[in-house]
Every structure is written in structure tokens, then in C-alpha cells.
Amino acid sequence: MPEPAITPALCYQNPRAALDFLRDAFGFELDMLIEDEAGNLAHSQMTYGDGRIMVGNEWSADHKSPRSIGLKCTQTVHVAVIGDINAHCETARAAGAEILAEPETQFYGDRTYRARDPEGHIWTFSQTVEVLTPEQWDANAPGLKTWTREKPGA
């Protein structure tokens, strides 16, 4: 697999349990696992489609699981779902994900849902159900004005 330009790295109190959860709930596949001499997880990577995440331990005062800091997140992970997003949500729910927002079609044509994993990381999953133009986005969401890098006449 080519190296993605951006790879989120998530810290967990129990990264081995996270690997199982992420596989069972969200469909990630283990791509790499490195253990130290004592058999402890030192680093791991998981893939989903052409994306990749790193899953590891809390390893410094600044690298913590949301579970260690009152379930606070400074970022979320966004995943473009392969297959049926409604079924993906139900699989996540059955595996123990807390569904924060049920699947709903957004003004920009994607159907999305949001979930929290057992250690508090927030995940957003989406699937394009209708390809719309930025002008249609603006019409669907009065009060918003969309800017893209594509300029008129360019």
C-alpha cells in the first residue's frame, strides 16, 4: 500500500483491545504490529481502504487516551465508508460503539454518522449518496457560503 500523506496516530490505555474493537466495530485491518522484548505493543498500524491509522500506548504526559483526560478530544478521525453506511453503523453499535449521531444525509450530499469508541475517541463515518456542486450546498444550507480552490473561469 502506498504511504498516505497523513496518518492519524491514536493513543489508547489498552491498545491491544483497541485493535480488536477497531476491527470488529469499524472494519479496520491490522497492517503492522511491533512488540518489545517483553511482548508489549510498541507500535501498530491498521488500514481501511486506502487509509491508515496508527494505534499505540499513552507514551508521554502529552499523549493520552481521551479516557485519561475526561473523554476530551482535540480532533476526530473521519473515514469514508466502503459499503452500506447504515449497515456499518449497526455493526459499530453491535460491537459496543456509542453512536453519537445516527446516519443522516447532509446538505453536501454525504450520509454521515458519528461514534465514540470505548476509550473516547470520536469517529465520523461518511458515504457520498449524491454528488452536489458547491452552489447546491449553499442552496441546501441557507446562510452558508462555500469557497473552493476552483475559481469561476479558471
- The CATH number of the domain holding residue 69 is 3.10.180.10
Mean pLDDT of 77-105: 97
Residue 152: inside a domain: no
Chain-centre distance for alpha carbon 60? 23
Residue 114: inside a domain: yes
Q: Which helix (H) or strand (E) holds 103?
A: strand 98-105
User: Hey, what's the cell of 75?
Assistant: 480532533
The CA distance from 126 to 120, in Å, is 19
- Model pLDDT, residue 146: 87
User: Hey, what's the cell of 125?
Assistant: 463515518
Residue 3: inside a domain: no
Which domain covers residue 52, as residue numbers?
A: 9-140
Count the residues in the chain: 154
- Is pLDDT of 154 > 80? no
Residue 100: inside a domain: yes
User: Hey, what's the cell of 97?
Assistant: 460503539
**Domains contained in the chain, number:** 1
- Model pLDDT, residue 149: 77
Residue 18: inside a domain: yes
What's the pLDDT tens digit per position in 95-107?
Answer: 999 999 999 999 9
Whole-model pTM: value is 0.89
| Residue whose C-alpha cell is 479496520 | 28
Residue 146: inside a domain: no
Residue 2: inside a domain: no
pLDDT classification of 147: cutoffs 50, 70, 90:
confident
Residue 153: inside a domain: no
